[in-house]
Amino acid sequence: MSGNVSISQEGNGKVSRVIRMGTRKSQLARIQTDSVASRLKELYPDVHLEIVAMSTIGDKILDTALSKIGEKSLFTKELENALERNEVDIVVHSLKDLPTSLPSGFTIGAILQRENPHDAVVLHPKNAGLTLDSLPEKSVIGTSSLRRAAQLKKRFPQLEFENIRGNLNTRLKKLDEKDDYAAIILAAAGLKRMGWENRISQILSPEDCMYAVGQGALAVEVRAQDRDILEMVSVLHHPDTVLRCISERAFLKQLEGGCSVPVAVHTEVKGSMLYLTGAVYSLDGADCLKDTMQMCVEIDNEVSESAQECVHVAVTANNISSSALDAAEKLGMDLANVLLNKGAKDILTTARKLNDAR
| Residues taking part in catalysis | 97
Q: Is 259 in the site for ligand DPM (CB under 6 A)?
A: yes
Q: For ligand DPM, which is the closer residue by CB, 259 or 283?
A: 259
Contact string 133-172 vs ligand DPM (x = CB under 6 A):
----------xxx-xx------------------------
The answer to whether the CB of 126 falls within 8 A of the CB of 193 is no
Alpha carbon distance 232, 223 (integer Å): 12
CB of 86 to ligand DPM, least distance (A): 27
The answer to whether the CB of 20 falls within 8 A of the CB of 52 is yes
Closest CA to 195 of 334, 325, 21, 34: 34
Closest CA to 220 of 336, 332, 102: 102
Q: Is 316 in the site for ligand DPM (CB under 6 A)?
A: no
Alpha carbon distance 168, 264 (integer Å): 21
Q: Is 186 in the site for ligand DPM (CB under 6 A)?
A: yes
Q: For ligand DPM, which is the closer residue by CB, 224 or 259?
A: 259
Q: Is 189 in the site for ligand DPM (CB under 6 A)?
A: yes
Secondary-structure breakdown of the chain: helix, strand, coil percentages, each rounded to the nearest 5? 35, 25, 40
Q: What is the DSSP string of 243-269?
A: HHHHHHHHHHHHTT--TTS-EEEEEEE
Q: Is 283 in the site for ligand DPM (CB under 6 A)?
A: no
The answer to whether the CB of 184 falls within 8 A of the CB of 191 is no
Q: For ligand DPM, which is the closer residue by CB, 189 or 200?
A: 189
Q: Is 56 in the site for ligand DPM (CB under 6 A)?
A: no
Q: For ligand DPM, which is the closer residue by CB, 121 or 339?
A: 121
Cβ partners under 8 Å of residue 120, min gap 6: 185, 186, 187, 188, 191, 200, 201, 202, 203, 204
Q: Is 66 in the site for ligand DPM (CB under 6 A)?
A: yes
Alpha carbon distance 315, 293 (integer Å): 22
The answer to whether the CB of 213 falls within 8 A of the CB of 248 is yes
Of 128-136, 181-189, 228-236, 325-333, the window that binds ligand DPM (rule: CB under 6 A) is 181-189
Of 34-42, 93-101, 102-110, 235-243, the window that binds ligand DPM (rule: CB under 6 A) is 93-101
Q: For ligand DPM, which is the closer residue by CB, 169 or 272?
A: 169
3-state secondary structure of 33: helix
CB of 105 to ligand DPM, least distance (A): 23
Contact string 204-223 vs ligand DPM (x = CB under 6 A):
--------x--xx-------
- Residue from 78, 80, 89, 97 touching ligand DPM (CB under 6 A): that is 97
CB of 88 to ligand DPM, least distance (A): 20
Q: Is 187 in the site for ligand DPM (CB under 6 A)?
A: yes
CB of 40 to ligand DPM, least distance (A): 19
Q: For ligand DPM, which is the closer residue by CB, 94 or 241?
A: 94
Q: For ligand DPM, which is the closer residue by CB, 66 or 79?
A: 66
CB of 240 to ligand DPM, least distance (A): 16
Number of residues that bind ligand DPM (CB under 6 A): 17
Alpha carbon distance 1, 17 (integer Å): 9
Beta bridge partners of 52: 22
Contacts 24+ apart (CB under 8 A), 79-85: 79/22, 79/23, 79/24, 79/54, 79/221, 80/106, 80/221, 82/22, 82/52, 82/54, 83/22, 83/221, 83/222, 83/223, 84/223
Binding site for ligand DPM (CB under 6 A): 66, 94, 96-97, 143-145, 147-148, 186-187, 189-190, 212, 215-216, 259
